Structure 1
Amino acid sequence: MRYDEFLAQVRDRGEYADQEEAAKVSEAVLGVLAGRIIPAEAKDLAAQLPAPLDAKVTAAAGERPESYGVEEFCRRVAERAGGHERTAQWDAGAVLTTVADLVSPGELDQLLGQLPADYAVLFGRSGPTG
């Protein structure tokens, strides 16, 4: 999937005004996600994302993942995107369901395996795909 196609899907799912808003939200969500998973997993995820999102994920990966739940994840997304905490779960879902459609089932299982079970809903799933 090309970058513009990724953003078009995020824009449609999130009902954003334009590609620019979809890009801002995508970078925020993926940046927060990259800090939440182990660096090797962030690298694997980045390998399946279109440029420039791949580089954003790689750059946002920390040495050690932080551990926090969905509520804190969404708070961080809102802070990074300059949005509202009330809509951050919607934003995360728009991006992460697009990611779930893009990456391989094995990669999605690895991502979900790194996160508490309640994160699956953000990816449009009820749990691991396998």
Structure 2
Amino acid sequence: MTMRREAFLEQVKERGAYETTEEAERAARTVLALLGAHLVGEIRADLAARLPEDLALILLNPLQAREPLSPERFVRATAAWIEGATEQTAAWDVGAVLSVAADAAGEELTRRILLQLPVGYDLLFGHSQRV
């Protein structure tokens, strides 16, 4: 079931404590573009199918990554893409977006996503350990 755009962005806005929906959307676009470079095949398509269409397209047409980024480097890369961000604010951005994406994905797909990512992403998705 696809999550509606307004609902997705409202949850990101709430979890990220953003003042505007535009800030939440900027974080969502950046984080999903980076995440898309780390997911392949069916898992990326399955997650995209659960996201609002415009955000799904970003996930499916990701920024290119030469190698899988560790969770720390993923946060650093996010900070580099968001104007004025620090590693601390980027960690907040990543957590807000990925936890909402995990809710949209559901537990089984989130588990499959985490198996494709380097160790440590479970915390970024709001899980205390691999699910």
TM-score over 0.5 for the alignment? Answer: yes
Contact 1:25 1:91 in 2 (8 A): yes
The aligned counterpart of 1:89 is 91
Q: Structure 2 vs 1, CA of residues 23 and 86 (structure 1 numbering), >3 Å: closer, same or farther?
A: same
Q: Which residue of 2 aligns with 1:72?
A: 73
Q: Displacement, 1:39?
A: 4.0
Q: By how many angstroms is 1:29 displaced?
A: 0.6
1:65–1:5 CA distance, 2 compared to 1 (3 A): farther
Mapped contact 2:79–2:87 kept (Cα < 8 A) = yes
Q: How many angstroms does 1:16 deviate by?
A: 0.6
Q: Which residue identity lines up with residue 89 of structure 2 in the other structure?
A: T
d(CA) in 2 for partners of 1:104, 1:55: 19
CA distance in 1, matches of 2:87, 2:75: 6
Please point out which of 48, 57, 60 is paired with 2:59. 57
Aligned length: 128
CA contact (8 A) 1:96 1:122 kept: yes
Q: 1:41 to 1:66 in 2, by over 3 A?
A: farther
Closer, same or farther: CA 48–57 of 1 in aligned 2, 3 Å: same
* 1:1-130 alignment, distance < 5 Å: 1-60=3-62, 66-82=67-83, 83-129=85-131
5+ residue gaps, structure 1: none
Choose 42-51 or 69-78, whichever is displaced more.
Answer: 42-51
The answer on whether the counterparts of 1:29 and 1:77 sit within 8 Å (CA) in structure 2 is: yes
AA matched with 1:26: A
Q: Secondary structure at the match of 2:68?
A: coil
Provide the alpha-carbon RMSD of the alignment: 1.7
The runs of at least 4 aligned residues of structure 1 exceeding 6 Å deviation read none
Structure 1 65/41 Cα, relative in aligned 2: closer, same or farther at 3 Å? farther
Matched residue type, 1:8: E
* Uncovered stretches (5+) of structure 2, i.e. residues with no partner: none
Q: Contact conserved, 1:28 with 1:77, CA < 8 A, in 2? A: yes
